[in-house]
Every structure is written in C-alpha cells, then in structure tokens.
Amino acid sequence: MPSTLSNAEFLKIRKNSFHSLPSDMKDIEDIAGAVRHYQTIANKSCGIIYYYLTRYVREISTAWHDKPFSDISILDWGTGWGQNALSLKSLGGNISACDVPVPVADEHRGDFFTRHGIPFKMLEHEYLLPFEEGSFDVVLSFGVLEHVPDDKNSLSELHRVLRPGGLFICLFLPYSLSWTQHLFGLLGKEVHDRLYSRAQVRGLLAGAGFSLHDMWFRQLFPKNKVHYPAPNIWERIDQCLVDHTPLKYLSTNLEFISSKNR
C-alpha cells in the first residue's frame, strides 16, 4: 500500500523538484529531437518546464509508493505527441499512454510509440478508458482535463483505473483568474473553454472520490511561443514571484496532486 506523506513532505518534494533546473539543455534537446511533431518543447523557455515537471512526477511517485520508479505503473492520459511519456520512460518509468484519435497525427504517433517501446491505446469514447479497474499506480494529466467533454465522468473513470491509494497528478490546468487567458481572450486569440478555480477543483475531486494533498499556482510569464534569454533565470524569477508575492493569484496554471480514496 502507498505510504503516508505529510503536507510538509509534499511541499518539500515539489519545491526541490521545481528548483532543480537543468545545468545544460541536452535532455530537453534529445526529447525535442525525438518528438519532431511537437516543437513547443524545443523552445528552451518551455522545455525546462517539462524537464522539472517530469522529474517531479518521478520524485513524488517514488516517495508516495515507496518503491523504485520502474515498478510504478503510470498512465499518461491524453499523451499528445508523447513528449511526457518519452521523458518519463527515459527516467526509468513504466509508462503507458492513451489519447483520442487525431487523423493528421495518428500514423506518426503509432510509429513513435512503437519505436520507443511505450504501450499506446487509442480512445474510442469521450471518457471511458480501455483499461481494467485498478490498472495503474499513477495517472497523469499534462494539460488534458480542461479539454475533455465531461470532466466529472472523466475523473470518475480515472478513479476506476487507479489502484487504491493511486495518485492522480494534474498539471497545466488553466486557472480562472489567469491574466494570460483573459488578455488573450480580449485580443481574440484562442483560449481554453474552461478555466478552474480552487473551489471547483476541490469539489470535482471530492465528487470523484479523490483526496487532495497539494495544490499550487504556477507560471506567470507565457512560455510556449516566447523565447527568453537565459531561460533558467527567467524560470527562477517566475517561480519566486508565484511563491512569494500576490501575483500568484494571476498565474496561468492551477496544479494539484491527489490520491484515490482507499
């Protein structure tokens, strides 16, 4: 059974992981080279985010489950081009992936997952998953929950495929007071249909049978298409502002980690 971590231990692991920025960009460049169809990660200002978030997944998963990372079964739910699945596999993870069909991409995605030895399943339902009950120790949502047609039923389905005490880690969830979302909306640019508040997250998790362990704000500066000089320094400034100033309430993302109630 999973171990018990205190709130202070959850916070410590997150802070250590988020502050462990890369001394060089080789890992990021390798992933960007492999995932040719998702070049956002090639932008170093964005790539370092994937670097420390995937390492956070490794550290919190091993601490919670108290066993080697390679023994922890992880589902990359809504994998996209597989950049996170590949990164976690390169860290020694036991990764499976799934996603909805994307006709212009599926031929390339099939080759990608086969080449890298990552089990992949195509989803045929808007929220039902083709996995047995209790199949995984960890389920990841890297910018997925806000896109699904039915977030309540999707969470219930994630609860089903997790083992008792399994972790649901949700990252890149757009925050209801995000200054970037509201500015882009005013400028007529594409924004997310759903933005989430902390109260909404708590309600959704409780309704689906999850216990919330840690929730935080992340990212003030837009990163996807902006190339910052000295990206590590910019990331440290961004994290400092989110950690220590009221500007956190304008952050782009609300993120959290929860577990399936036993």
- Quote the mean pLDDT of the chain: 92
pLDDT band at 78 (very low <50, low <70, confident <90, very high): very high
In the prediction, which pLDDT does 104 show? 64
What domains can be seen in the chain, in order of their start residue?
7-260 (3.40.50.150)
In the prediction, which pLDDT does 40 show? 80
Q: How do beta strands 120-122 and 253-260 pair? A: unpaired
Decide: 73 and 259 in contact? Cβ < 8 Å.
no
pLDDT band at 169 (very low <50, low <70, confident <90, very high): very high
Sequence-distant (6+) residues with CB within 8 A of 163 are 134, 135, 136, 137, 260
What is the pLDDT averaged over residues 56-62? Answer: 98
Show the 3-state SS of 129-173. Answer: CCCCCCCEEEEEEECCHHHCCCHHHHHHHHHHHEEEEEEEEEEEE
The Cβ of residue 59 has, within 10 Å, a number of other Cβ atoms equal to 17
Record the pTM: 0.94
In the prediction, which pLDDT does 51 show? 92
Q: Does residue 26 have a pLDDT over 90?
A: no
Predicted confidence (pLDDT) per residue in 28-50, tens digit: 788 777 776 666 888 889 889 99
